[in-house]
Each structure stands twice: as C-alpha cells, then as structure tokens.
Chain A
Amino acid sequence: MNTVKVSNDLVEKWRKEDEEARRIRREKANWEFIKSQPPRIRAALEYLIEKGDRYVAAKIAGLTLEEFDELRRKANIPVVI
C-alpha cells in the first residue's frame, strides 16, 4: 500500500495546531457535565477533547454524528477549526 510523505515542516505545523485546539477544548469544556455522564458517553467526550475527532467520538458513544453533536454542545466542547 503506497503512502504519501508529509514534510517535517507540515508535521510541526499540525502539531502546533493540534496543541492549540486541545488547549481551547480543555479550557472551554464543562467538566462537571462531562463527569456526570455514563462511562461510555464520558469516554467519548474526553476523547473529543483530546483528539477533536467527532466521527470517532460519536462511534465511542454509540450515537449518530448529530446525536453526539447535541451532547458536545451541552458539554460546551467547541469544534476548533
């Protein structure tokens, strides 16, 4: 399987972007709400804060993208783009 090489500069740029986004999500999140959720939902919301990946987070939660997005908004986790 062929893969496409990514330059070191781009990797560094992405690392910084990911760091900034993670910091914003951690700061804005309603941790009280997150901690009050059942384990599966809590794990999904915590994953979202760390990785910012709504698709995988929705799958962890066992919800559709839109159902999970409602929870994301209640947990005050911003989409950082």
Chain B
Amino acid sequence: MIGVLDACFIIDWCKYRHRELLEQLFATLFIHEETLAQLKSETTITYVSRLLSEGKLRLYPWSQIEEDEYLRLRGEIIHDPRIPSLERPDILCLIMAKNLNAILLSENTGIHRVTEFHPRYRGLIVWTALETIENMIYKNILNVSSEDEFLKLVKEYEEDTGHIFKRSRLEKSLRRIKSWLKR
C-alpha cells in the first residue's frame, strides 16, 4: 500500500503517541518537496527525516505534465468559496495520489471536498487519522477486541492532537469496526 502525506496530516500525526505505527501500515510513503518545506518544528522534521533515511518515505519526482495538471485543477477549484482554500502543496498532493494510485493522508477539508465533487478526482481515497487508525486495526498493527477499545484509541488521538472527528465520520468508522469485530 502506498500513501501520500500532506503537511497538516503529518504535523498532527507527529503528536500522536502511536505515530511510529504509520510506517507499518504503508509499504512506501511519498512527500512532495514543497510539502516537506512546510514542516518546521523539530519533532516533525526529526520524524520525517528518520522515515526518509530508512527509505520508508520518498521525495516525489514531480514532472511537467503534473505541473500542467496543477494549473488546470487550480483553475477549476480556486473560485469556489465552498472549497476551503487549498495551498499549492495540497493540490500537488492530490495529483500525486491520483498518479500513484495511492491513499492520500489528509485532514484538509478542501482536499476531501475536491474528491467528493471533481470528476477527475472523485473516487480518490483520502484518509484522515481516523481511517488510518481503523486500517491499522484491520492489519493487526493495533489490536482491539471491542468498540470501546477502538473509541479509546480515537480518543487518544483527539487528546494528543486537539482534533475532534465529526459524528458522521466516527459513526461510519464505528459501523465498519463493529462488522470487522464480528468476523
């Protein structure tokens, strides 16, 4: 499984007590050099540098064709006030994930909305930390034997990062976990 990191996701994920488990979930992670340039704190840089040095994280080789797609996509979404502003590195992540057929790790509402309405990007898989934790359970990287244990893991993430998952997102995730626990 291949993943693409956006800046907000990795900044937040670095604060999570189980952050080291990310590298067990993905065979390879990619980051754009412009996303890397957005990272400033010692904690984030240290974590990301370790992933790069171990070869788990790679810099994405950006191409001119992708730059053309960036200009096209930006033009299509920039005027819509319902899409929270997307910085250039965020749009680059969308294009990378699509071209790599990868899972995009992002907690940016604008990114999620583009994949809900845009014909070329609809269907692209975007995970927040919630779906990331959920998939760690399916892969036996994190172990839970009840819904409460799953909710405890989610609560830990929320406490560590100052996040709150929307009720609808959490309910969907919990339904999938319930079904998995019954297997």
Contacts and interface: CB of A to CB of B under 8 A. Distances in A.
A81 B106 CA distance: 10
B164 A76 contact: no
A7 interface: yes
Contacts of B107: 79, 81
Contacts of B12: 69, 79
The size bracket of the interface on B is 35 or more
A14 to B, nearest CB: 6
Interface in A65-81: 65-67, 69, 72-73, 76-81
Contact of B117 (A6, A66, A72, A80): A6
A36 interface: no
B39 A53 contact: no
A81 B44 contact: no
Nearest to B45: A66
A10 to B, nearest CB: 6
B80 A55 contact: no
Nearest to B74: A1
Interface residues of A: mostly helix, strand, loop or mixed? helix
Contacts of A7: 117
A64 interface: yes
Contacts of A53: 84-85, 109-110
A76 B86 CA distance: 24
Given A4-B117, A10-B116, A65-B8, A72 B162 contact: yes
A12 B110 CA distance: 16
Given A4-B118, A52-B84, A53-B84, A65 B11 contact: yes
B41 to A, nearest CB: 5
Contact of A64 (B8, B40, B158): B40
B76 A2 contact: yes
A81 B119 CA distance: 23
Contacts of B80: 3, 6
Pairs A-B, 8 closest by C-beta atoms? A78-B164, A1-B75, A66-B41, A73-B162, A53-B84, A79-B163, A81-B107, A6-B117
13 contacts: A1-B76, A1-B79, A3-B76, A4-B119, A10-B117, A21-B166, A51-B84, A67-B40, A79-B12, A79-B107, A81-B109, A81-B130, A81-B164
